[in-house]
Amino acid sequence: MGELCVLDDVFEQFLKSTPILKERRVLGHDYVPDRLPHREEQIRFLGEAVAPVLKNCRCSNVFIYGKTGTGKTAVTRYVLGKLAAKSRGLGGSVDVSYVNCRLAGTEYRVFANLCYALGVNVPFTGLAVGEVFERFRKGLESKAVLLLIVLDEIDALVKTRGDVLLYELTRINETLRDSRASIIGISNDLRFKEFLEPRVVSCLSEEEIVFKPYDAAELQDILWDRARLAFCDGVLREGAVGLCAAKAAAEHGDARRALDLLRVAAELAERRGDDTITEDHIWRAERRIEHDRVLDALKNLPLHSKLVLYGVYLLGKTRVSFAVTGDIYEIYRELCSELVVSPLTQRRVSGLINELDVIGLLNARVASLGRYGRTKKIRLGISSSLVRRVFADDDRVGPLMNYAPKCLTGISS
Ligand code: ADP
Ligand code: MG
């Protein structure tokens, strides 16, 4: 009965509260605004680069790079959307294929996606990559179009797979008669070109556009633009927008980050029935985002990293204020044998500890043992209650939650 009352209250509260958002989707990740302040230059440059296709000529390959959240995807989608519309209006034959390489994951999937966009059938898996490429080429040739191929987050693909695919693609025009293709490559990694062979680089970056990080004032403009569409009048305080912009600018001028802060702040305010969004909501939003990020990272760790982390957690429950690699390895091996999985070598485990340190789940610092050399002092980088909460629900590690390691019986509290 109590629960029902509580729920009634929740619903009543929600119904009574004044709405603060009028267009929620405007703050979502895939919304493409029809104005992109402070990207006029990049829009014009990309527009000029691709314009030749309107006169039925192939345009140059364009290479776009800049850090995450600097508007690369938004600008590219915006310009190519307008271009395709213009071409349709003129009765032209321009086609745009967009693939996000990181989401596609493999060369096979990238080409399969390009095939689907042309209406060419390929099975989900099973062909050789070369065969998929060939079907794409034939499909393209038979359509007699000018195709703009956008390879977004291309760095994610090339770093793991090399650049064979790109090389083939840059040469595709040599084998086409009735169609032409141009590549627009987008990279979040500024050093991406170092991963490519020089001939691929020179071919890909016939034109180059750099997206610089936004500064706080530019982020404010972007946020206000979006806020006017998303929020009811008077809901959003100026200080809140200023703080959002300052925080995102301090990171690396990331507009996605700024918009995320604003969206989460709005959700928090809504849930609490507040009718304005203040700086306080932004602070809370930041903590929430950080918390979710840690949670995600924890949940998605590979099994052996989880076991290492759990070992450090168990050591932390004893009165030892920090752990050394040897202790962690010992307890890790015990946990492995408990789960009947074969343990990795101590070297590999050392590597895992470093990785966990880099992403902030562990805190490791090198300590001198005087003439006995150096060792690492290792602690959890996050609260032990969080580790416990996440791992308790974990299929593999969950069953170990009440496990008392034998190697700890001596030092246990
Ligand atoms: P990138 O591809 O460089 O990582 P995105 O283009 O995805 O960045 O931009 C991140 C988010 O910020 C998107 O929601 C996008 O709509 C928004 N955004 C980026 N730049 C602008 C801008 N100049 N004006 C309005 N919104 C922008
Ligand atoms: Mg992007």
At which of 243, 275, 296 does a domain end?
296
Range of the domain at 279: 2-21+215-296
- Cα–ligand 1 centroid distance for 70 (angstroms): 6
Q: Is 373 helix (H, G, I), strand (E, B) or coil?
A: coil
Q: What is the largest CA-CA distance in the chain?
A: 81
Q: What is the mean pLDDT of residues 6-12?
A: 84
Instruction: pLDDT band for 411, please (50, 70, 90 cuts).
Output: low
Nearest to 112 by CA among 91, 92, 97, 93: 97
Ligand 1 pocket test target in 32, 154, 259 with most atoms within 8 Å of CB: 259
Report whether 204 contacts 185 (CB < 8 A).
yes
Question: How many Cβ atoms from other residues are within 10 Å of residue 250's Cβ?
Answer: 11
Q: What element of type H or E holds 326?
A: helix 325-339
* Sign of the torsion formed by the C-alpha atoms of 303, 306, 311 and 312: positive
Residue 28 lies in a domain: no
Residue 162's region, left for phi above 0, alpha for psi from -120 to 50, else beta, is: left
Q: Residues with beta carbon < 5 A to ion ligand 2? A: 73
Closest atom of ligand 1 to 37 CA is 23
Q: Which residue has the tokens 């979040």?
A: 188
Over 50: is that where the pLDDT of 412 sits?
no
Residue 44 lies in a domain: yes
The closest ligand to the CA of 260 turns out to be 1
Q: Which residue has the tokens 């084998």?
A: 175
pTM of the entire predicted model:
0.82
* Alpha-carbon gap, residue 288 to 295, rounded angstroms: 10
**CATH number of 308's domain:** 1.10.10.10
Nearest to 386 by CA among 291, 303, 290, 316: 291
Query: Which percentage of the chain shows pLDDT scores above 70?
Result: 97
Q: Which residues of 8-30 are buried (b: 16+ CB within 10 A; e: fewer)?
A: eeeeeeeeeeeebbeeeebbeee
Report whether 150 contacts 97 (CB < 8 A).
yes
Q: Whose CA is nearest to atom 13 of ligand 1?
A: 256
- Cα–ligand 2 centroid distance for 1 (angstroms): 49
Q: Does residue 266 sit in the same domain as residue 308?
A: no
Query: Which percentage of the chain shows pLDDT scores above 90?
Result: 68
Q: Looking at the 3D structure of the chain, how many domains does it have?
A: 3
The closest ligand to the CA of 255 turns out to be 1
Residue 176 lies in a domain: yes
Q: Does residue 101 sit in the same domain as residue 52?
A: yes
Q: Encode pLDDT of 318-332 as tens digits.
A: 866 788 889 999 999
Report in angstroms the alpha-carbon separations of 253 from 121, 131, 216, 259, 392: 41, 42, 7, 12, 37
Report pLDDT for 209: 96
Q: Encode pLDDT of 108-163 as tens digits.
A: 999 999 999 999 999 988 899 889 999 999 999 999 999 999 999 998 887 766 67
Q: Does residue 324 sit in the same domain as residue 352?
A: yes
Over 90: is that where the pLDDT of 5 sits?
no
* Sign of the torsion formed by the C-alpha atoms of 277, 278, 282 and 287: negative
Q: Does residue 322 sit in the same domain as residue 274?
A: no
Q: Encode pLDDT of 101-118 as tens digits.
A: 999 988 899 999 999 999
Question: How many Cβ atoms from other residues are within 10 Å of residue 231's Cβ?
Answer: 21
Over 80: is that where the pLDDT of 27 sits?
yes
Q: Does residue 158 sit in the same domain as residue 224?
A: no
